[in-house]
Chain A
Amino acid sequence: MDFSTFLQQLVNGISLGSMYALIAIGYTMVYGTLRLINFAHGDIMMVGAFFVYLASSMGLPFPLAVLAGITGSVLVGIMTDKIAYKPLREAPKISLLITAIGISFFLENLFNVLFGGVPKAFPAPEYLTTSFKLGEVILPLMVIVIPIVTVLILGGVLWVLYKTKYGMAIRALAFDIPTVKLMGVNADYIISIVFGLGSALAAVGGIFYAISYPSIDPLMGIIVGLKAFAAAVLGGIGSVTGAVLGGFILGFTEIFVVAMFPDLGGYKDAFAFFFLIFVLLLRPTGIMGEDLDRGRF
């Protein structure tokens, strides 16, 4: 591989890793607070992309459509918690998990009924799909935009978690929900913030994904969601920085496996999960994860 190819693959890896990271944060935050692997989270990403599509086809300019997409995802994310998970707060964790899988199927099939299963062209505006040449390297604009936005968002999430009282409550909730209530805090409200925040990031990830691979379908969230989940576990579930790290590692691995062994391109997904298994054998709590029962961000 020559240097320019390497550079090309590097930016591709950063860009793909960013998308995984954005979605992985939602997995890790919900797990951190409720000890729930929210399997419907990958579908929230799809919901975000579809709401943008819908808003755009109703004539809204793209930036407003993006806003509508994020808002829609946040509402759907909070509603899944209120309707499906909240009644099960005291139930065994396995009931929550099964419910999450049910919600995932529900969302996929709902959007299948509403929009049909045929992939739709994503209405990305031209100014976002341009590319420019840097020496030998062709850089799509999104490859630059995605990592920058991701870093800004990560900074924002860490700021919320460590500098605001709501973030402090989220961190406290990860450790001890009954005691948070004893502080006079409405824990359900804080949990809604967690779902809202995670869903917003998933929507952004979904929109990035849809712009980069410019078609959307109701099942697009499954494999991306699973990989983002793998990224969260790889980084240490419960840890936001771990989720971002895991996302980037997975993104790079995938891109470079394909670049170095084009014959194995069909196995890229398998390789990502193989890598996850390998890391978990060495470090069962993931890279940044420590005490799973303690929950940390």
Chain B
Amino acid sequence: MLKVENLEVYYGVIAAVRGIDLHVEKNNIVTLIGANGAGKTSTLNALVNSIKKKGKVTANRVDITKLPTHKVIQDGIALVPEGRRIFVNLTVDENLRMGAFNNERFEVLKEEMYQQFPRLSGKKEQMGGTLSGGEQQMLAIARALMSEPRLLMLDEPSLGLAPKIIGELFETITELKKKITILLVEQNAFAALKIADYGYVLENGSITLEGNATDLLGNDEVRKKYLGG
């Protein structure tokens, strides 16, 4: 589904990502875990060409390395950015419409989203900025799904949310797996590995460990560094 080869990201002379390889199989949840500043967000932003990169990215055997951001999205890849990035000055309904900007099936899709995320359906005309953090995250995911992506990339969806909401959120993500492929970037390693099929550990811009999610959960080093012993 998604193949990343030798991805490098530099901010000036400082390397944020130092030549990593990633494979995301169809209908899997693959997670990229690591501490703050490990290069997780840089990786995702580089994949959609929001920032400059070196390396090669292939999605469904099509080379998308050099496509401008909007073309990558039109190619069936969606990114839920870090910090949700809801359009605060647009209504919930308009936020969803933006997600399906190039999709004429938006009315049908919107109804599907309101069914899947019932907490949003009562707030259609409310400004995005008035929603709670959890609702904004749901809206950000729903908005990304409006483009009917084959690959959904989520950047730190649990950031700043209450534990109960995080549980709800990860259930939703697990549900999504039935239909689409997911690349999940998380600091919350335990929650991410529990729902993932495969995981990568990113440290200082390099992959230091990878494997089946259940194996990583049992790995001593992972337990010590990311799961609090």
Contact = CB atoms under 8 A, between A and B. Distances in A.
Interface of A: 165, 168-169, 171-172, 174-176, 178-187, 294-296
Given A169-B98, A180-B98, 6 more contacts: A172-B89, A178-B85, A184-B73, A187-B70, A294-B88, A296-B89
Nearest to A166: B101
A144 to B, nearest CB: 36
A25 B73 CA distance: 32
Given A168-B94, A184-B102, A179 B87 contact: yes
B202 interface: no
Contacts of B40: none
Interface in B145-187: 147
Given A165-B101, A168-B97, A182 B87 contact: no
B97 A175 contact: no
Given A179-B81, A182-B81, A172 B87 contact: yes
6 contacts: A169-B101, A175-B88, A182-B69, A182-B73, A185-B70, A295-B89
B97 A165 contact: yes
A83 B167 CA distance: 50
Contacts of B88: 175, 294
Contacts of B89: 171-172, 174-175, 294-296
A174 B70 CA distance: 17
A182 B48 contact: yes
B79 interface: yes
B34 interface: no
Which of B78, B79, B85 lies at the interface centre, i.e. has the most chain A CB atoms within 10 A of its CB? B85
A165 B99 CA distance: 11
Contacts of A185: 70, 98, 101-102
Interface string B90-113: 100010011101100000000000
Given A181-B50, A184-B74, A168 B98 contact: yes
A180 B50 CA distance: 11
Contacts of B98: 168-169, 172, 180, 183, 185
